Amino acid sequence: MPDRIGPYVLDAELGRGTMGRVHRAHDSRNGRVVAIKTLSLGSEFEGYALDEARTRFQREAQAASRLRHPDIVDVLDSGDNGSLAWLVMELLTGQDLSHHTRPAALLPVSSVLAIGARVADALAHAHDHGVVHRDIKPANVMIDPDRDQVKVTDFGVARLLDASRTRTGLVLGSPTYMSPEQLAGRSIDGRSDLYSLGVVLFQLLTARLPFSGATMTELMAAVAQQPAPDARLLRPGLPDALADVVSILLEKRPELRYADGHSLAGDLRLVASRMQPRPDREASTATPLTARSGGRQGPKASPDNDIDGNATGNADALPG
Ligand SMILES: Nc1ncnc2c1ncn2[C@@H]1O[C@H](COP(=O)(O)OP(=O)(O)OP(=O)(O)O)[C@@H](O)[C@H]1O
Ligand SMILES: [Mg+2]
Q: Tell me the CA end-to-end span of the chain in Å, nearest whole number.
A: 45
Check whether 288 has a pLDDT greater than 60: no
Q: What is the pLDDT of residues 62-91, one digit of tens each?
A: 888 889 999 999 999 998 888 788 999 999
Q: Under a CB-based contact definition with an 8 Å cutoff, are residues 277 and 284 in contact?
A: yes
Ligand 1 pocket member 154 (CB < 6 A)? yes
pTM as predicted: 0.84
pLDDT reported for residue 290: 36
pLDDT reported for residue 91: 97
Q: Which of 97, 99, 153, 159 to mutate to test the pocket of ligand 1 (most atoms within 8 A of CB)?
A: 153
Which among 149, 146, 89 is positioned nearest to 122, based on CA atoms?
Answer: 149
Q: Whose CA is nearest to atom 5 of ligand 1?
A: 92
Find the helix or strand (DSSP H, E) in which 189 lies: none
pLDDT reported for residue 40: 83
Q: What is the pLDDT of residues 257-273, one digit of tens each?
A: 999 999 999 999 999 99
pLDDT reported for residue 163: 55
Ligand 1 pocket member 178 (CB < 6 A)? no
Nearest ligand 1 atom to the CA of 90 is: 1
Active site residue 135: yes
In CATH terms, is domain 95-274 a member of 1.10.510.10? Answer: yes
Check whether 292 has a pLDDT greater than 50: no
Query: What is 8-90's CATH superfamily?
Result: Phosphorylase Kinase; domain 1 (3.30.200.20)
Check whether 206 has a pLDDT greater than 70: yes
Q: Whose CA is nearest to atom 27 of ligand 1?
A: 17
Any idea where the domains of the chain sit in the sequence?
A: 8-90, 95-274
Ligand 1 pocket member 40 (CB < 6 A)? no
156 or 175, which is more confident: 175
How far does the centroid of ligand 1 lie from the alpha carbon of residue 92, in Å?
10
Confidence of residue 45 (pLDDT cuts 50, 70, 90): confident
pLDDT reported for residue 92: 96
Counting residues of the chain whose pLDDT is more than 70, the rounded percentage is 81
Amino acid letter, residue 2: P
Alpha-carbon distance values, 201 to 174, 262, 309 (Å): 16, 16, 15
Nearest ligand 1 atom to the CA of 157 is: 27
72 or 303, which is more confident: 72
291 vs 285: CA distance, rounded Å: 8
Ligand 1 pocket member 36 (CB < 6 A)? no
Ligand 1 pocket member 164 (CB < 6 A)? no
How far does the centroid of ligand 1 lie from the alpha carbon of residue 125, in Å?
21
* 45-59, 228-242, 306-320: least confident range: 306-320
